[in-house]
Amino acid sequence: MTNKRIAVIGGGVSGLTSIKCCLEEGLEPVCFERTDDIGGLWRFQDNPEEGRASIYKSVVINTSKEMMCFSDYLIPDHFPNYMHNSQVLEYFRMYAKEFDLLKYIRFKREPNLEISGPQADAPTAEPSQPGL
Ligand SMILES: Cc1cc2nc3c(=O)[nH]c(=O)nc-3n(C[C@H](O)[C@H](O)[C@H](O)COP(=O)(O)OP(=O)(O)OC[C@H]3O[C@@H](n4cnc5c(N)ncnc54)[C@H](O)[C@@H]3O)c2cc1C
């Protein structure tokens, strides 16, 4: 019997934890991320992308690392208690690598939410940019 496929929308921190939870439950996650990288809001870029929220360059997270860390993957001791946004992103990358989550993400893809009926359990995607 094949595993049930689950569409996860977005490769931000919510998407990463959702992928991991799916795997723990024996489900088959397919994550659609419209950009070409993980991190969502925490991936700062000098040039903002249309439709993607972003922090600004100097943002330091307002949640302490003891409060915000994943319970199954602690923030390294040498990271400060309140991390710069680049360290938050680095932590998310470490988490994704530790649990081998990247292979479940389809970058530059958005789910087709119009699907209904018998095809509803078969995630598909449309390229978010022509030619991709
Ligand atoms: C200015 C600002 C400051 C913040 N500061 C803090 C803070 O200090 N501490 C704190 O704990 N929280 C803070 N937050 C809250 C923040 O929202 C969370 O920390 C966290 O980033 C939410 O993760 P997420 O994965 O839900 O969303 P996001 O990080 O926004 O990621 C969403 C991802 O989904 C992708 N996506 C969206 N729609 C689609 C689609 N249709 N198809 C495919 N991909 C899609 C996007 O490209 C993106 O990669 C802040 C938020 C803002 C806006």
Write the pLDDT tens digit of every residue in 11-36. 999 999 999 999 999 999 999 999 99
Percent of the chain with pLDDT over 90: 74
Is there a contact between 75 and 2 (Cβ–Cβ < 8 Å)? no
Please give the Cα distance from 90 to 42 (Å, whole number): 10
69 in contact with ligand 1, CB cutoff 6 A? no
Q: What phi and psi values does residue 90 have, to the nearest 5 degrees?
A: -60, -40
pTM of the predicted protein model: 0.87
64 in contact with ligand 1, CB cutoff 6 A? no
CA of 125 to the centre of ligand 1 (A): 21
For residue range 57-108, what is the model confidence (pLDDT) as tens digits?
Answer: 999 999 999 999 999 999 999 999 999 999 999 999 999 999 999 999 999 9
58 in contact with ligand 1, CB cutoff 6 A? no
CA of 79 to the centre of ligand 1 (A): 21
Please give the Cα distance from 101 to 78 (Å, whole number): 24
Ligand 1 atom with the smallest distance to the CA of 110 is: 42
Please give the Cα distance from 53 to 93 (Å, whole number): 19
Sequence-separated (6 or more) residues with CB below 8 Å from residue 19: 8, 29, 31, 101, 104, 105
